Structure 1
């Protein structure tokens, strides 16, 4: 399996007919700072028309582990290859959700400013939720991170009758504040 570059996409349901359950996983190596790993979190944002969250209920993360419609949930056992995972049940995703963005962010109130450029590696993978088979993997996104404290890793989105996944790799130096602004979420 070739690693996908930023901006590259794959039609998941075209490549795997009958695919209904996907798992988006993230693996990173925090290099030297163990506190960095302790404060990294994966989140998913369900987005409607225009790329904005429909409400605060569309944010799935450690404090809200399942979307209101039960289509997206924080994974309970990421296994050996991933440190965190988000599970998506495609048939349950509401029709007005056009895409689901996957975000890695630093969740810290520490006076010591940490950034994602401290990561040695950062790779996003998409798995078939039933078989556990890896469907795609990104290139190492850590190489292009500098002052960011949050990054949109990728997005699962509808394209006609299919679901596709795109590797994004867009970071925000303003962290969670930048993410909330981008997706229209309240802070």
Structure 2
């Protein structure tokens, strides 16, 4: 019997109040191309989210962890691949286990998770066969070749499951590096290269600080620093039939100021290297892709609701902006204030001026009552409402 269907970002109890000694993670999916080779892995992580030993990466070439706490197996019990965990055998220094899928040589073969459908994670008790939860984790994936499906993590002495569904580009090597293991430069088999330890005579390099996985809804006016990655995606999402438009106001490194919107879709090949994936025309979602964050200083994401939409608050439409750095860090800026007479709302601001980090801020500023003048973003990163050109649609 299925206990619950869980959604991305949801956290559930797995062991608390239950007599669960063994946990199974069953992963299944369908592909549009039969040649796609998808593999599951598990990373045993310490309190800092780091995999400190090569033997703590479990995959098809290394199927059993230390003390037999975690094991990997192929198709069984309706799943394509299964990761099993014996709770009592988890080493004392392990506080999190991340479950991942990667596409072998995805970049080389032009394959990604956009070719994957019906991706399901089943969390269950392998002894009683009782389901704990079902997580449909494939929604919203596109060019990624690796994905962190979810995490089993220790909280106040009990194990919980976090539904992550965050994608990476770069396949298994990107995941390995993210979790703190070394990646060999030798052109060997992908898995072998990802887990090779340098020969004993070579001094071990100082490991890079791994990117901490984050799935967070910002509170009003809250900010957070996340890793400045090679690509950033911002999605405007809403839950009504009204036609909203996503605007991305920008300031480049050279202090050029402009905007990307439905009349100027931008390009991945020319400055400012920002691209709108078309005007949605219907309700639901519009997406901005920032292809070169290093070419920017600031961006401001705003939503416009045409006069023809009539009155009604953006909050009631459940409008939100979702910023994803494709390194496992996803920041959502929901709206908290009810304002029924605004045609514009500035939702999220990103400061790219940091060396390795970018600052994502929840701003939530509304235009004046029935004012159609757009916001403006200035060279110093500040912005004002009601001072830009009037928009008509």
Asked if TM exceeds 0.5, the reply is yes
Does residue 72 of the first structure (1) align with residue 63 of the second (2)? no
Structure 2 segments unaligned to the other structure (5+ residues): 184-393
* Aligned match for 1:120, one of 72, 95, 117: 117
Aligned length: 181
| In structure 2, C-alpha distance between the alignment counterparts of 1:2 and 1:71, rounded to whole Å | 26
| In structure 1, C-alpha distance between the alignment counterparts of 2:50 and 2:30, rounded to whole Å | 30
In the alignment, what sits opposite 2:163?
167
Moved more, 177-186 or 19-28: 177-186
| In structure 1, C-alpha distance between the alignment counterparts of 2:172 and 2:49, rounded to whole Å | 17
Q: For residues 50 and 129 of structure 1, do their structure 2 counterparts lie closer, same or farther at Cα, with a shift above 3 Å needed?
A: same
Does residue 151 of the first structure (1) align with residue 152 of the second (2)? no
Q: For residues 76 and 143 of structure 1, do their structure 2 counterparts lie closer, same or farther at Cα, with a shift above 3 Å needed?
A: closer
In the alignment, what sits opposite 1:9?
11
| In structure 1, C-alpha distance between the alignment counterparts of 2:178 and 2:15, rounded to whole Å | 27
Deviations for 1:133-169, whole angstroms, at most 9, x for unmatched residues? Answer: 111011x322210110000000101001111011100
2:30–2:117 CA contact under 8 A, matched in 1: yes
| In structure 2, C-alpha distance between the alignment counterparts of 1:172 and 1:49, rounded to whole Å | 22
CA RMSD of aligned residues (A): 1.5
| In structure 1, C-alpha distance between the alignment counterparts of 2:81 and 2:93, rounded to whole Å | 27
Does residue 28 of the first structure (1) align with residue 29 of the second (2)? yes
2:24–2:125 CA contact under 8 A, matched in 1: yes
In the alignment, what sits opposite 1:102?
99
Q: Write out aligned runs for 1:36-115 (5 A).
A: 36=36, 39-75=37-73, 78-80=76-78, 82-108=79-105, 111-115=108-112
| In structure 2, C-alpha distance between the alignment counterparts of 1:15 and 1:75, rounded to whole Å | 28
2:22–2:127 CA contact under 8 A, matched in 1: yes
Deviations for 1:40-87, whole angstroms, at most 9, x for unmatched residues? Answer: 01110000121010211100000000002210001355222x111010
| In structure 1, C-alpha distance between the alignment counterparts of 2:97 and 2:117, rounded to whole Å | 26
Task: Quote how far apart the aligned CAs of 1:4 are.
Answer: 0.9
| In structure 1, C-alpha distance between the alignment counterparts of 2:102 and 2:34, rounded to whole Å | 15
The structure with the largest helix share of the pair is 1
Task: Quote how far apart the aligned CAs of 1:110 are.
Answer: 8.0
Task: Quote how far apart the aligned CAs of 1:182 are.
Answer: 1.4
Structure 1 segments unaligned to the other structure (5+ residues): none
2:23–2:84 CA contact under 8 A, matched in 1: yes
Of structures 1 and 2, the larger Rg is shown by 2
2:23–2:86 CA contact under 8 A, matched in 1: yes
* SS across alignment from 1:143: coil
| In structure 2, C-alpha distance between the alignment counterparts of 1:76 and 1:176, rounded to whole Å | 18
Q: For residues 61 and 122 of structure 1, do their structure 2 counterparts lie closer, same or farther at Cα, with a shift above 3 Å needed?
A: same
**TM-score in terms of structure 1 length:** 0.91
| In structure 2, C-alpha distance between the alignment counterparts of 1:144 and 1:15, rounded to whole Å | 33
Q: Which has the higher contact order (CA 8 A, sep 6+)?
A: 1
| In structure 1, C-alpha distance between the alignment counterparts of 2:107 and 2:101, rounded to whole Å | 18
* SS across alignment from 1:57: helix
Q: For residues 110 and 168 of structure 1, do their structure 2 counterparts lie closer, same or farther at Cα, with a shift above 3 Å needed?
A: closer
* Aligned match for 2:177, one of 160, 170, 181: 181
